[in-house]
Structure 1
Amino acid sequence: MSGGATDPHPGERRPLGRRRLGLALLTVVALAGGGVAVTALATPEKPSPDPAGGEGLPPATAPVTRGDLTDSSQQDGTLGHLGERKINAGGPGGTLTWLAAPGSVVRRDERLYEVDGEAVRLMYGDEPMYRTLRTGDKGKDVRQLEENLAALGYTGFDVDEEYTAKTAAAVARWQKSHDLKQTGTLGPDRIAFAGSAVRVESGADSGTGSGGGDRIATGDRVTPGSPVLTVTGSEKVVSFKVPASQAGTAKTGTRVQVTLPDGTRLPGRVSAVGRTATAGEDPQDRTPKIDITVSFDDPARAKGVDRSPVTVELSGTTRRDVLSVPVNALLALPDGGFGVQVVEDGAARDVRVELGLFAQGRVEISGEGLRAGMKVGVPS
């Protein structure tokens, strides 16, 4: 055979030792950084000898192909919503008379809850509504309020951090539209801030009952600062975990394909990567893992029940216009390295190859005389 090794048994043609190939391939994959599962190859049947006296032919062949090769990995994920948080009661407190329904989405200027029949509405912003704003006040919360008023069409003031008489006039117009007393002042008894539209998860945990866990409901008394609603972000996302050692496979911006429970495949990207590794909940696997969040390109198409299992396919490296063969076509050459058994004109010969990317059960190869369409030996 090729490779320059001396045959210890002259006159007897021996097939290359595929028994050594499984271990060798696993070594190559490990050195390449993992991410590809290679099944150990069984020893094929001894090829029938060529009638012309040439190399023994393999039991089966596969073509060398040319095209793009992309490695990818699959992860088990969960469909859900991002950023669970609490909405706390403002104002003097009282009896809870209405709550937004679980699963509903509340947007800017829509009702979150009512106390004593008076609605508290959602506005967008990261600063909490911690005081009653009036003419002369200054701060980031003033700017947030003015940004919301302007977005709702109540204009006539400069959007800045100063609450002026013009701001008060816009507030009065907003109050009139909601049949409220037109005071020109506004406080936490009327609005609550959140970063964007929210989805209502449930009434907040009241902390009562045996061991806690009861949910607040209409008719309950609330006090300033007590939790009223548990909410999340309004758009659906997917969350999953990867071992800390593989965090580089899921960088922010990495493109993914998500397979939903009904088989629908939707594109998306990694939108957030956790900064702290934590041990998993499985007592059999305490490997430190990092939380990964995926956002859909078109969230409205992401249909499914919350906490449904999904599959996330992470796109990796792509090698374009390369030659490749099935992984099990590789031979471990006697003098080291790898080759393939090319079958042409009823004869087989070994060709040394350089290995590239492993992906999709195939491996990128290069070597002298190789071309697309050639047949290479594979186990039966």
Structure 2
Amino acid sequence: MSGGPSDPHTDQRRPLGRRRLGLALLAVVAVAGGGVAFTALATPEKTPVGHPGAKGLPPATTPVTRGDLTDSSQQDGTLGHLGERKINAGGTGGTLTWLAPSGSVIERDERLYEVDGEAVRLMYGGEPMYRTLKTGDKGTDVRQLEENLAALGYTGFAVDEEYTAKTAAAVKRWQKSHDLKQTGTVGPDRIAFAGSAVRVKEAGSGSGTGSSGGDRIAAGDRVTPGSPVLTVTGSERVVTFQVPASEAGSAKTGTRVRVTLPDGTRLPGKVRAVGRTATPGDDPQDRTPKIDITVSFDRPDEVKGIDQSPVTVELAGETRQDVLSVPVNALLALPDGGFGVQVVENGAARDIRVELGMFAQGRVEISGAGLREGMKVGVPSR
């Protein structure tokens, strides 16, 4: 007898056409993660009532599309600046008479602060200014000074690690340009080194007992050699975020990203640095070891937003190019455990077995005999 309750030919339509998201959804949850598909999701088309082959047809259809499918993930990040360090007082100390204001960007040969009315200026270099340089001195700090003098146009010497009489002559010309006594020697009472231009974050903390753990120093305060004067960062805007140590491979150096700023602007960038040490996260409810990730922008001049603003980072994952894909809810869980789609053509529906590829948010790559771009497949009604 055919068509009875126990007839397998009749019963098989129920798991195919109605249990569309049963086992399929479990697979999607396990594989898809938080990916994003850059292939647009088509709008389902309603099957007309009274269509000649309406019996057994799905309530809606959507086309099989061809294009690139990219798996990506989103992370919560924080907008900030690259690095943070202290600028400490040099020389013999004295009364602080001027400080660069918070938020200002200080470039080569510009003032950082003044003590007793005498300016300490920024020069670029990785080694701190720890001594007064004079003729006969040798070292990396000598080269750094000479590189800066040459960049400022005070030439006439060889840029090397030896402080010669020609170096001293260039220093005198630099001193004259700033109305200083022309001694030909220069030390930490005149110069502070940093790797590049810096942005002033805030005045350094004194030894008081203010609400923040220390009174902020200001003009008129006394400073001693080595005491913090300014807290600075790099001038470049960056984003920082954390990922579980087990997922560190998703954010390798050079990985492309898109950052959504607080105003909704989306800007491209890449992972600049990946931490080497896993530490517990800040959330007391989640002590999973995490890795710090730093992102730089391709177009830093376009970055707007207040420091420490929350942003969203979209990490680009694997891209599958020129593939066929359908919405995840077009999948059918077949009786034998495989997957298929319900193709609608000429008013009739038939099932095609498919092989699954990449899952991205809402879509899945499919392949199989008889599939083609534009073919209509069944989806549940919205």
- The aligned runs of 1:57-76 (5 Å cut-off) are 57-76=57-76
Question: CA separation in 2, counterparts of 1:208 and 1:330?
Answer: 67
Provide, for residues 47-75 of structure 1, a one-character-per-residue CA deviation record: whole Å limited to 9, x for no partner: x99976x9721111111011111112111
Q: CA RMSD in A?
A: 2.2
CA contact (8 A) 1:105 1:199 kept: yes
Aligned to 1:45: none
In structure 1, the partner of 2:243 is 242
Equivalent residue number for residue 40 of structure 1: none
2:243, 2:291 → 1: CA distance?
Answer: 6
User: The residue matched to 2:14 in structure 1 has which SS?
Assistant: coil
Q: Paired residue for 1:342?
A: 343
Q: Secondary structure at the match of 2:91?
A: coil
Residue 217 and residue 361 in structure 1: after superposition, are their counterparts in 2 closer, same or farther (change >3 A)?
Answer: same
| Corresponding residue of 1:16 | 15
SS in 2 for 1:15: helix
Which region of structure 1 is more displaced relative to structure 2, 364-373 or 8-17?
A: 8-17
The Cα of 1:24 is off from its aligned counterpart by: 4.0
Q: Which residue of 2 aligns with 1:356?
A: 357
Q: Which residue of 2 aligns with 1:123?
A: 123
Q: Deviations over 1:188-232 (max 9, x none)?
A: 000000000000001011131157232111111111111000000
- The separation in 1 between residues aligned to 2:8 and 2:263, in whole angstroms, is 62
Q: Contact 1:78–1:239 (CA<8 Å) still a contact in 2?
A: yes
The one-letter code of the counterpart of 1:15 is R
Aligned residue in 2 for 1:279: 280
Aligned counterparts of 1:63 and 1:97: Cα–Cα separation in 2: 72
C-alpha deviation, 1:283, in angstroms: 1.4
- Aligned counterpart, 2:257: 256
Q: Look up the equivalent residue of 2:87 and give its one-letter code.
A: I
Contact 2:24–2:331 under 8 Å retained in 1: no
Q: Does 1:185 align with 2:203?
A: no
SS in 2 for 1:356: strand
Give, in angstroms, the shift of residue 25 of structure 1. 3.7
CA distance 1:182–1:10, shift in 2 (3 Å)? closer
SS in 1 for 2:349: strand
Q: CA deviation at 1:20?
A: 7.4
Per-residue deviation, 1:360: 3.4
- Please give the per-residue CA displacement for 1:130-187, whole angstroms capped at 9, x wherever unaligned: 0000000000000000000000000111111100001000001000000000000000
- How many residues were matched structurally? 363
Partners in 2 of 1:219 and 1:194 — Cα distance?
A: 25
Using the TM superposition, name which of 84-93 and 70-79 deviates more.
70-79
Any idea what the Cα deviations from partners look like across 1:97-155, whole Å, max 9, x if unmatched? 00000000000000000000000000000001000000000000000000000000001
- Classify the secondary structure of the residue corresponding to 1:16: helix
What is the aligned partner in structure 2 of residue 314 from structure 1?
315
* CA–CA distance in structure 2, aligned partners of residues 256 and 323 of structure 1: 25
Cα distance in structure 2, aligned partners of 1:181 and 1:281:
52
**Structure 2 CA distance for partners of 1:355 and 1:215, relative to 1, 3 Å:** same
Contact 1:55 1:349 in 2 (8 A): no
Q: Which residue of 2 aligns with 1:44?
A: none
Match in the other structure for 2:89: 89
How far does the alpha carbon of each residue in 1:65-87 deviate from its partner, in whole angstroms, 9 at most, with x for none? 11111112111111111211100
The answer on whether the counterparts of 1:134 and 1:163 sit within 8 Å (CA) in structure 2 is yes
Judge which range, 165-174 or 210-219, deviates more.
210-219
> Is the 1:50–1:347 Cα contact (8 Å) retained in structure 2?
no
Match of 2:328 in 1: 327
Matches within 5 A, 1:118-197: 118-197=118-197
Counterpart of 2:81 in structure 1: which amino acid? H
Is the contact between residue 146 and residue 167 of structure 1 (CA under 8 Å) also seen in structure 2? yes
Q: Which residues in structure 2 correspond to 1:208-247 (within 5 Å)?
A: 208-210=208-210, 212-247=213-248
Instruction: Select between 240-249 and 146-155 the one with higher mean Cα deviation.
Output: 240-249
Comparing 107-116 with 241-250, which one deviates more in the overlay?
A: 241-250
The answer to which of 364-373 and 76-85 deviates more is 76-85
State the one-letter code of the partner of 1:284: Q
The answer to whether the Cα contact below 8 Å between 1:60 and 1:379 also exists between their aligned partners in 2 is yes
Answer yes or no: is the 8 Å Cα contact 1:279–1:289 preserved in 2. Answer: yes
- Stretches of structure 2 that go unaligned for 5 or more consecutive residues are 37-48
Task: Check whether the contact 1:49–1:57 (CA below 8 A) recurs between aligned residues.
Answer: no
Q: How many percent identity over aligned positions?
A: 81
Residue aligned with 1:144, SS:
helix
Pairing 1:298–2:296 present:
no
Paired position in structure 1 for 2:40: none
The structural deviation recorded for 1:9 is: 2.8
Secondary structure of residue in 1 paired with 2:305: coil
CA contact (8 A) 1:341 1:350 kept: yes
Aligned-pair distance for 1:26? 3.1
* CA distance in structure 2 between the aligned counterparts of 1:20 and 1:322, rounded to whole angstroms: 22
